[in-house]
Amino acid sequence: MDNEYSKTITDQTLREVVNHGSEEYPFQYYYEDIWDFDLHCIDWHWHPEVEFVFVEKGTAIIFIGSEIYTLHAGSGIFINTRVIHRFEAKESTIIPNIVFLPTLLAAHDSLIFRKYIKPVLDSSVECIILSSENKIQKEIIDVLVSVFSIQNSKKNSEIITVELIIRLWRIMFDNICLTDKENISEKSIQIRGRLQIMMHYIQRNYRYRITLDDIAQTVSMSKSSVLNIFKEYLHTSPVSYLINYRLRQATRLLSNTEDSIASIANETGFEDAGYFCRKFKNLFGMTPNEYRKKGQFLSE
């Protein structure tokens, strides 16, 4: 019995595996409610495409790398290529958004790409918050909303979409401060790579007993350094990340199997079913049995 929540599907590096658009038209428009996603979040992921998001209703809590942004209705955000991010909401939060490869706007070997697109992609800008209270940012938001509205049109929607996005990109390019990625320390790049290695290790081995020492050994770092990395980039500890990942895997088993609670606890790495139930309720606000019944109700 599958529940009706959407899920964020990634590979071992947290790259989203969904195709956004097609090879000949690498653009996709989404009209999404964060609340409709599994556990009310669009979990950590990244993609080679850039993304523009508008908060139409509600409040979106957006994690971009090591930063957290709270965006209310009427605001938006640009997320650069290959930037790891996560969306959360505490209630229904509608976020129409577009995801596209920059080559939609110009060929990779063209003057336009080299002069106006590549500098943004290669900059240290991970994201740009768009506020309706700022005149220039409001102009970007207005163009973005126009892109959304044209998606329901069957006549010339592709060329009008590209025309609008080029306009949007020009406004953004003319008004942001760009810093070469070369100025970002090599150490910072290495740390992010090590974080992905540790997260991948946890995801592969969450069913087994894992200690902080085990996690630290995967990247040959001290336990204190590992704690600092998780705190800075994921705003949690390695152990908390492990427990939460186990609990998220448990929700899948609760929804898709009839296994006992004790069996699911054991299968997801919890040695004590009582501890599993307490942690589950702390995270999701309901017991495993209540979550299972809710899933059954939604699938009926």
59 DSSP β-pair partners: 72
Residue 6 — pLDDT band, cuts 50, 70, 90? confident
Q: Is the pLDDT of residue 8 over 50?
A: yes
* pLDDT recorded at residue 1: 30
Label residue 41 exposed, middle or buried (CB < 10 Å: 0-12, 13-18, 19+). Answer: middle
Indicate the pairing of strand 85-88 with strand 67-72: unpaired
Contact 182, 129 (CB under 8 A): no
DSSP structural state of residue 14: -
Q: Are 52 and 97 in contact (CB under 8 A)?
A: yes
Residue 12 DSSP class: T
Summarize pLDDT for 195-233 with one digit per residue, the tens. Answer: 878 988 998 899 999 999 999 999 899 999 999 999 888
pLDDT band at 20 (very low <50, low <70, confident <90, very high): very high
pLDDT at residue number 44: 83
Label residue 54 exposed, middle or buried (CB < 10 Å: 0-12, 13-18, 19+): buried
- pLDDT, tens digit, for every residue of 252-267? 899 889 999 999 999 9
- Does the pTM of the predicted model rise above 0.75? no
- Count CA within 13 A, CB hemisphere, residue 107: 3
Whether the per-residue pLDDT at 54 is higher than 80: the answer is yes
For residues 171-177, average pLDDT: 90
Would you state the pLDDT for residue 42? 92
Note the pLDDT of residue 189: 62
Best CA proximity match to 46, nearest among 228, 171, 233, 182: 233
Helix (H/G/I), strand (E/B), else coil: 158: helix
**What are the φ and ψ backbone dihedral angles of 180, each rounded to 5 degrees?**
-60, 140
Please write the tens of the pLDDT for every residue from 108-148. 999 999 999 999 998 888 899 999 999 999 999 999 999 99
Q: In what order do the strands lie in the sheet with 85-88?
A: 41-45, 85-88, 59-64, 67-72
SS3 295: helix
- Give the confidence band of 190 by pLDDT, cuts at 50, 70, 90: confident
String of DSSP letters for 50-89: EEEEE--BSEEEEEETTEEEEEETT-EEEE-TT--EEEE-
* Residue 196 near residue 14, CB atoms below 8 Å: yes
User: How many angstroms separate the CA atoms of 20 and 183, rounded?
Assistant: 30
DSSP letters, 114-127, are IIIIHHHHTBS--E
Q: How much is the pLDDT for 15?
A: 86
CA atoms within 13 A on the CB side of 142: 10
> Can you read off the two tokens belonging to residue 81?
């290529």
92 and 57 in contact (C-beta within 8 Å)? yes
Which of 79, 59, 80 has its CA nearest to residue 70? 59
Q: Phi and psi dihedrals of 43, rounded to 5?
A: -70, 175
pLDDT attached to residue 243: 95
List, in order of start, the domains of the chain with CATH numbers: 27-183 (2.60.120.280), 186-299 (1.10.10.60)
pLDDT, position 5? 56
Helices (H) and strands (E) in the chain, counts: 11, 9
Token pair, residue 198, equals 């540790």
Residue 211 φ then ψ, to 5°: -110, 165
Amino acid identity of 246?
R
